[in-house]
A and B are shown apart, each in its own frame.
Chain A
Amino acid sequence: MSAFLSVTRAVFRRDLSAEWRQKDVLTTVIMFGLLTVVTFVFAFDPARHAREEIVPGCLWTAYLFAGMLGLGRSAARDGQDGGTVGLLLSPADRGAVYVGKFLSHAVFMLAGEAVVLLFTIVWFDLDGRHLTAPFFLILLLGTLGFVAVGTVFAVVSQKSRLREVMLPVLMLPILAPMVMAAVEGTAIVLTPGSNEGLGEWLKLLAGFDLVFAVAGFLLYGFVLEE
């Protein structure tokens, strides 16, 4: 067990220090996330739509597209700097590697999402009435589900001729239930009044996270070794 944890910790710290030096993934997530939000504002005039109609879709679309590019960058970096080869040469437990990658990707995503959210708060005039505990819970659960799937498919897509195109092609349909639950849940939280129906979406998100985290944990080794 302690060997498992030390592999997880080593992978996590390696990813964080590589990111600290290059800042590729965070730059990708933040810049692309902000640009998606801004594009949304151009596409849907906020003056003509209620906040709860536009913000949930805008935020999650930004997170998804920015996140896919970010995870693609992370996997490409592992391929380029020999990180993957090093991992394959080591006798490290593949499940432990997955957990380490999962955690580092979650940290990158949550950090990038926080920056995008700050701008969104200002641009859409959100305040304490909207940014409640359930709001952040949905954000966390949605992000973990995204990362659980994305950590596996980032590696898969690197091995396809289509590379960065393959990642969204594979991920977006599989993420469909998570996106639906996250957007609907966020809309409920942002709508003034009761949070009726929120529990069902939270359960769906938690179930999604659990199923795909377990699947990723079990299948990541096969993908990594090919």
Chain B
Amino acid sequence: MRSTDRILLTLSAAAMLALCYLVFLYIPLEKTQGYIQKIFYIHVPCAWVGFVAFTVTAIMGGRYLATRDPDHDRWAAASAEIGIVFTTLVLITGPMWARPVWGIWWTWDIRLTSTLVLWLIYLAYLILRQTVAERDRRSVLAAVTGIIGWLGVPIVYLGNRVRASQHPAPVVGGGEDSGLAPIFLATLLVGVFSLTVFYIVLLRARVRGARLEDAIEELQIAEGRDHA
């Protein structure tokens, strides 16, 4: 592990400890929902990281198509894998929160649906990568899929204006009535910071791993040629 990663990991862990302190010991209970509302501080940062991760996949896919640098493809793939993990956490923490508050695990509301669709798109992206053997071809097809898949997300969100939503409107920057008391907002931002930095650490580690995998593959191919 390099020193940059060590610093980033320490920052992320410190922020996570601070988040735990704020969430469980410092901030007051939410009036109507009680303890379960505290899941908000992990649910929203996970959703944020998932969206950032898939955006990075789309951007890195575009850069791969422009440059054909295999490293860009590694960043795109790594980011999609991590994005799937965090979006899976969103889809787990969401129902855990919804059940006691709404009385149901799931509703086909636009925000839930769009998160699920995003998750399915990048799951398909990863499956595609698994099922195309040749490396350059895999990189190009994945890049195109990553870009087109990402384009669908804002369109799903547009449906929000047409269909009524049960999911609360964005509490941050969601209109005149929205907004959190400063301490709640600060707590949320600590969570966002912690998980975003953690995402960067994971991403860097995964890309290094992918570089090694590719190097091993090349060595094996070269060795196979020598024996033949």
Which B112-164 residues sit within 8 Å CB-CB of chain A? 113, 117, 120-121, 124, 127-128, 131-133, 136-137, 140-141, 143-145, 147-149, 151-152, 155-156, 158-159, 161-163
CA distance A149 to B121 in the complex (A): 13
Task: Please report whether the interface of chain A is mostly helix, strand, loop or mixed according to DSSP.
Answer: helix
Q: Does B202 contact A (CB under 8 A)?
A: no
A215 & B147 in contact (Cβ 8 Å cutoff):
yes
* A164-185 interface bits toward B, Cβ cutoff 8 Å, 1 = contact, 0 = none: 0010011011101100110010
Q: Does B65 contact A (CB under 8 A)?
A: yes
The interface-forming segment of A31-39, A111-119, A218-226 is A218-226
Q: Which residues on the A side are within 8 Å of B159 (C-beta)?
A: 177, 180-181, 204
B132 & A159 in contact (Cβ 8 Å cutoff):
yes
Q: Which residues on the A side are within 8 Å of B65 (C-beta)?
A: 219, 222
Q: Which residues on the B side are within 8 Å of A226 (C-beta)?
A: 136-137, 140-141
CA distance A172 to B155 in the complex (A): 14
Interface size of A by CB at 8 A reads: 34
A204 & B158 in contact (Cβ 8 Å cutoff):
yes
Partner of B140, one of A173, A197, A222: A222
CA distance A75 to B158 in the complex (A): 32
Partner of B148, one of A172, A201, A219: A219
CA distance A170 to B120 in the complex (A): 9
CA distance A153 to B148 in the complex (A): 10
Say whether, besides A177-B155, A200-B162, A204-B159, A161 and B141 are in contact (CB < 8 Å). Answer: no
Q: Does A160 contact B (CB under 8 A)?
A: yes
Write the nearest CB–CB distance from A221 to chain B, whole angstroms: 10
Q: Which residues on the B side are within 8 Å of A149 (C-beta)?
A: 148
Say whether, besides A156-B144, A156-B145, A226-B141, A197 and B151 are in contact (CB < 8 Å). Answer: no
Write the nearest CB–CB distance from B112 to chain A, whole angstroms: 12
Q: Does A79 contact B (CB under 8 A)?
A: no
B151 & A173 in contact (Cβ 8 Å cutoff):
no
CA distance A146 to B89 in the complex (A): 31
Say whether, besides A152-B144, A156-B144, A219-B144, A174 and B152 are in contact (CB < 8 Å). Answer: yes
Q: Which residues on the A side are within 8 Å of B162 (C-beta)?
A: 184, 197, 200-201, 204
Q: Which residues on the A side are within 8 Å of B132 (C-beta)?
A: 159-161
A212 & B158 in contact (Cβ 8 Å cutoff):
no
CA distance A207 to B143 in the complex (A): 23
Residues of A within 8 A of B (CB): 149, 152-153, 156, 159-162, 166, 169-170, 172-174, 176-177, 180-181, 184, 197, 200-201, 204, 207-208, 211-212, 215-216, 219, 222-223, 225-226
Q: List 25 A-B contacts (CB under 8 A).
A: A153-B145, A156-B141, A156-B145, A162-B127, A162-B131, A166-B127, A169-B124, A170-B124, A170-B145, A173-B124, A177-B152, A177-B156, A177-B158, A200-B161, A204-B155, A207-B155, A211-B155, A215-B147, A215-B148, A219-B147, A222-B65, A222-B140, A222-B144, A226-B137, A226-B140
* Interface contacts beyond A153-B148, A180-B159, A204-B159: sample of 8 additional A-B pairs, CB < 8 Å, sorted by A: A153-B145, A161-B133, A162-B127, A166-B124, A169-B128, A174-B152, A177-B156, A223-B141
